[in-house]
Structure 1
Amino acid sequence: MKQKYEIIENENAKLFCKYSGSGPLLVLIHGAMVDSNFYDAAAEVLSQKYTVITYDRRGYSRSTVCEASGFSVSQQARDAASIIKFTGEKQAAVFGASAGGMVALELASQHPELINLLMVHEAPSICLLPSTDDCVAWTQRVQLQIDNGKINKAVAQYLEYTYQNDVRGPKKSESQQQQEIKNMYYFLKEEFYKTLTHKHNYAGIQESGIPAVIGVGELSHESYCARCAFRLAQELNCELIHFPGYHNVAYDLPTDFATMLIGILARYL
């Protein structure tokens, strides 16, 4: 189904949005490095039943941002809220992957009235892990490299710890790889530490009554994001669902991902 495009302005940013399909509103929020293209193949399937909105988060790819505005997870949540409000719909089902899951959680905390179903896949909520978890020390090491201006070393340490590759996923073009490198630098400089260490109001989310589902890749095993997913499901006292593949299932296995999401949406809405 053909996608349409819109630029939505919010708090010194111009957010590049794509939407397709018809039916109940479904908002998909991407994580680090990637952009809204991460969901393109999945959106083709999902848009047969839903109005699907994806967008480049501020500072990523086609979304611009005023440097003076800084970064906060709370502001990212307000961006998502502005997009839902722009549609004129009262509520949306919201899915966030990885760092996008952190945004989705904050949106649920700030604006529960806008969400009828919260779905979060492997959000890196490291505050839920014990202080002895190795990812806590890793986060500090990466941030130290960033603070010392050694961004290339920070990139290497980040990728060494987080990299997962599903050979079933589509190959990325050279231009796509180059854009993801730019997005990676932005993520590390502006978002990395603030995102991973952000503390959500989990009690407030649970008390809001929003139905929530936490996703984890069946092949993610003991990755730090998988550990966070297990802890998050416990914290919110909600269902934990195993998606096929790894951390980036929505891109690697878009049809399988979309089929599972349609099933979840049908059960909860």
Structure 2
Amino acid sequence: MTMTQSIRTEGADIVYDYEGNGPLLLMISGGGGAAEHYARISGFLAEHYTVVRYDRRGNSRSTGDTTIDLDMAQQARDAVAVIRAMSGEQAYVFGSSGGANIALQLATDHPDVIRALVAHEGPTSPLLPDADTWLAFAERVHSTFTTEGAEAAFKIFASALVGFDGANPQQARVAAGEMTTNAEFFMAREYLPLATFSPDLDTIRRNKVPMVTAAGRESDSAYYARTARIQAERLSCPILEFPGNHLGFIFEAASFATTLRGALDDLTSGTASQRR
């Protein structure tokens, strides 16, 4: 049974859903910022964890100032607030895409709340050897939004997605954040801060957060899969192959959940990564 609550923090009401039994597992959404992104996989995880998924501030049911750009440090504090609202001292943390970037900020600023972290395909473009190309791509997407609107911007955004050939044609639009009503807010206020995020990997290493990065089996050479590999190399942590593409947690939820559970079990036992 899924329960819904909210927590008031820094001028916003953050709405979260939770279900299941066991240790706390916080799921952080990327583009679109909605708890619903993880609704399907939560059902496969709830037998083993208390799964918490939340609408990030300004998205869906959560409130917040929608006239200002996303602040990564504030996003990390919101994650802490949700963990505390669940009476948790620590939580397993999973983030995908921009949610992985927020999870990396959490590992920088609040490592003590993380029991173990899986960062799936966080698009930290400044780390790439061809960073200029991908930062220019992000600027192109955003400038297209300002001049032509969200639909045109999403078409450019989706052109860089890998592993969607032959798939349901809705998948690329879901990846772009269109599965919710948050598309305009995402493009206007969240896309550039997430797409141009450069994590403080040195601090994360010093914080000794047990973690792995992850890339989808079908993501191949996508820029967000490449950044996951670079993150792992620079953090001296493993990178794991997960089922599917950028949306494996939606379209291959059962196998994705099994892989995620194995990764978290290994991190807890110290098999996958030791505190560095």
Normalised by the length of structure 1, the TM-score is 0.90
Render the CA deviation track for 1:27-84: whole Å, top value 9, x for unaligned: 0111113621121221112111111100111122111212355421111111101111
Give the deviation of 1:238 after TM superposition.
Answer: 0.5
Give the deviation of 1:188 after TM superposition.
Answer: 1.0
* SS of alignment partner, residue 213 of structure 2: strand
Equivalence map 1:146-185=2 (5 Å): 146-148=145-147, 150-162=149-161, 165=164, 180=179, 182-185=181-184
Q: Which amino acid is 2:122 matched to?
A: A
Q: Structure 1 residues 77, 166: CA separation in 2 closer, same or farther (over 3 Å shift)? A: farther
Q: Structure 1 residues 230, 133: CA separation in 2 closer, same or farther (over 3 Å shift)? A: farther
- Does the CA-based 8 Å contact 2:217-2:245 persist in structure 1? yes
Q: Which amino acid is 1:190 matched to?
A: R
- Does the CA-based 8 Å contact 2:67-2:189 persist in structure 1? no
| Greater shift in the superposed pair: 92-101 or 15-24 | 15-24
Residue 82 of structure 1 corresponds to which residue in structure 2?
81
Give the deviation of 1:94 after TM superposition.
Answer: 0.3
Equivalence map 1:60-75=2 (5 Å): 60-68=59-67, 70-75=69-74
Equivalence map 1:98-113=2 (5 Å): 98-113=97-112
* SS of alignment partner, residue 180 of structure 1: coil
Residue 246 of structure 1 corresponds to which residue in structure 2?
245
Render the CA deviation track for 1:149-182: whole Å, top value 9, x for unaligned: 644432321122237537677989xxxx996363
* SS of alignment partner, residue 51 of structure 2: strand
Residue 50 of structure 1 corresponds to which residue in structure 2?
49
RMSD: 2.4
Normalised by the length of structure 2, the TM-score is 0.88
| Greater shift in the superposed pair: 71-80 or 128-137 | 128-137
Q: Which amino acid is 2:64 matched to?
A: V
Residue 128 of structure 1 corresponds to which residue in structure 2?
127
- Does the CA-based 8 Å contact 1:166-1:245 persist in structure 2? no
Render the CA deviation track for 1:102-137: whole Å, top value 9, x for unaligned: 110001111001001011000010011124563232
Q: Structure 1 residues 160, 139: CA separation in 2 closer, same or farther (over 3 Å shift)? A: same
Q: Structure 1 residues 168, 201: CA separation in 2 closer, same or farther (over 3 Å shift)? A: same
Residue 90 of structure 2 corresponds to which residue in structure 1?
91
Identity %: 33
Q: Structure 1 residues 143, 214: CA separation in 2 closer, same or farther (over 3 Å shift)? A: same
- Does the CA-based 8 Å contact 2:72-2:102 persist in structure 1? yes
The separation in 2 between residues aligned to 1:167 and 1:216, in whole angstroms, is 20
| Greater shift in the superposed pair: 116-125 or 39-48 | 39-48
Residue 35 of structure 2 corresponds to which residue in structure 1?
36
Residue 272 of structure 2 corresponds to which residue in structure 1?
none
Residue 227 of structure 2 corresponds to which residue in structure 1?
228
Structure 1 segments unaligned to the other structure (5+ residues): none
Q: Structure 1 residues 167, 179: CA separation in 2 closer, same or farther (over 3 Å shift)? A: same
The separation in 2 between residues aligned to 1:14 and 1:242, in whole angstroms, is 35
The separation in 1 between residues aligned to 2:219 and 2:123, in whole angstroms, is 13
Q: Structure 1 residues 9, 31: CA separation in 2 closer, same or farther (over 3 Å shift)? A: same
Q: Structure 1 residues 178, 124: CA separation in 2 closer, same or farther (over 3 Å shift)? A: closer
Q: Structure 1 residues 134, 223: CA separation in 2 closer, same or farther (over 3 Å shift)? A: same
- Does the CA-based 8 Å contact 2:32-2:177 persist in structure 1? no
Structure 2 segments unaligned to the other structure (5+ residues): 269-276
